[in-house]
Chains A and B, each alone.
Chain A
């Protein structure tokens, strides 16, 4: 069992409260996933021609300031690190592919959590409330965000095994469910050049989406492909630069509820995580149909 939450704002007032509201949703989902939590925030887009990366280091002193100097030397310009607990984000005057290649070559000890123009990923093992506080998530503004609370069923409880998983530039995946063909599919994807950090099943789903989109599929096509190529149970939420998408497997053992008001669109594993949002009592509510891709934001799956 795990908990998923997604919140997409339609007003600047709510953008300022994005972290606070997402934190409230995650707290309601704590009992579905008490061992780890993670979020992806879409905020502060990098300037034109720049990229943004989120990095994780378990080291006591990861040397983020030194890294910033190195990045500046390599690419001409970089922002100072924006540090939250074990994670730091940087804006770099380079395209994301170049920055990622440089980071993996020069700093293999650092884990790249996300790359793109506006995505930032923060995740850790620990009870959701503690993770929220460690990263000071309640203070974060943004246009939209996804969150996950994990109850591990098939692989270890570590930062790297937590969700969200990056699936490409400005894309990430959170998953509630379990996949049974992930070992075989991981080997297939590895042969196609997709790299994995863990033995986690959900990371394979993220890798699958990355591969399909690298081969030219739209997000919608890649998600529809999940129904043929993934064996198991899932409710997926995929964060995109402009919004998010949701898919439940055709058998639909894993729950999902969606809601919309004039101020926001939300999805969650359970209604109780939506009930805490402002104006929830007047929201239009529905249960997403099995095997159908839903999406918000401008043309994220076109």
Chain B
């Protein structure tokens, strides 16, 4: 977690107790958007700070609803609270840091950038991941990494049922227990390059109390999505 920022109170802010989410997003999208903006009183509202398209910083002071930071490109977004469904869905680049926990489908279909969740993420974290990196300080729920195609999910605690079901080429690293592996997901050898990859991601996520060597790697057995020539007759 980031240390308290002495300059935070001096930052420009947008108060959702008085303004609407649409006004906020319009301001963040506009050509004269602030370089750094604090969002106050999010109160679980949906679609906060979605579709950003520039390297600015947004700090959200509280819990947010669905699809926060969706489609993010280049921006650095920090949520000082929990997130509802689909945080950082389809993120393209930049970073989304959640200081609390995230509900289902965190980082769904994200193509690039870094999503860090300091608490837990519930079911279907990283579903259909397409290239982003996700680091979860706590645990993830069932069917995480479902059909994930590319990118990385690092889980510092446990993973629920059916991890990596129907997985393509995403890499999954879990330090704790895995309730069960999904169809076509297998444990793979943790080689030095993988330890280094986890080390790098933990460093980017600013998590320093997890030893990269303690993680296990899971990936696709590649039986499910390959065309099997011997089954030609049944296709």
User: By the criterion CB–CB under 8 Å, are A281 and B82 in contact?
Assistant: no
Closest A residue by C-beta to B63? A271
User: By the criterion CB–CB under 8 Å, are B104 and A274 in contact?
Assistant: no
Tell me the bound Cα distance from A274 to B44 in angstroms.
Answer: 9
Tell me the bound Cα distance from A276 to B63 in angstroms.
Answer: 12
Name which of A272, A285, A289 has the most chain B CB atoms within 10 A of its CB.
Answer: A272
What is B's interface to A at a CB cutoff of 8 Å? Answer: 43-46, 62-63, 65-66, 82, 84-85, 101, 103-104, 122-123, 141-142
User: By the criterion CB–CB under 8 Å, are B122 and A287 in contact?
Assistant: yes
Tell me the bound Cα distance from A11 to B122 in angstroms.
Answer: 32
Closest B residue by C-beta to A31? B46
| Contacts A255-B85, A285-B82, A287-B122 given; does A272 touch B101 at CB 8 Å | no
Q: How far is the CB of B167 from chain A (nearest CB, A)?
A: 19
A-B contact pairs, 29 of them (CB 8 A): A250-B142, A255-B84, A255-B103, A255-B104, A257-B103, A270-B44, A270-B65, A270-B66, A270-B84, A271-B63, A271-B65, A272-B43, A272-B44, A272-B46, A272-B65, A273-B44, A274-B44, A275-B43, A275-B44, A276-B43, A281-B62, A285-B63, A285-B82, A286-B101, A287-B101, A287-B103, A287-B122, A290-B123, A290-B141
Tell me the bound Cα distance from A10 to B114 in angstroms.
Answer: 42
The answer to whether the Cβ of A213 comes within 8 Å of any Cβ in the partner chain is no
Q: How far is the CB of B14 from chain A (nearest CB, A)?
A: 17
Q: Which residues on the B side are within 8 Å of A285 (C-beta)?
A: 63, 82
Tell me the bound Cα distance from A289 to B123 in angstroms.
Answer: 9
Tell me the bound Cα distance from A250 to B44 in angstroms.
Answer: 25
Task: Report A249-282 CB contacts with B as 1/0, cut-off 8 Å.
Answer: 0101001010000000000001111111000010
Given contacts A252-B141, A255-B84, A290-B142, 5 further A-B contacts (CB under 8 A): A252-B104, A255-B85, A271-B65, A281-B62, A285-B82
Closest B residue by C-beta to A285? B82
Tell me the bound Cα distance from A219 to B206 in angstroms.
Answer: 46
Tell me the bound Cα distance from A289 to B104 in angstroms.
Answer: 11
What is A's interface to B at a CB cutoff of 8 Å? Answer: 250, 252, 255, 257, 270-276, 281, 285-287, 289-290
Q: How far is the CB of A276 from chain B (nearest CB, A)?
A: 8
Q: Which residues on the B side are within 8 Å of A274 (C-beta)?
A: 44
Q: How far is the CB of A138 from chain B (nearest CB, A)?
A: 20
Q: How far is the CB of A127 from chain B (nearest CB, A)?
A: 19
Closest A residue by C-beta to B143? A251
Closest B residue by C-beta to A271? B44
Q: How far is the CB of B80 from chain A (nearest CB, A)?
A: 12
Q: Which residues on the B side are within 8 Å of A286 (C-beta)?
A: 101
Closest A residue by C-beta to B101? A287
Q: How far is the CB of B146 from chain A (nearest CB, A)?
A: 12
Q: How far is the CB of A274 from chain B (nearest CB, A)?
A: 7
Q: Which residues on the B side are within 8 Å of A272 (C-beta)?
A: 43-46, 65
User: By the criterion CB–CB under 8 Å, are A271 and B123 in contact?
Assistant: no
Q: Which residues on the A side are within 8 Å of B141 (C-beta)?
A: 252, 289-290
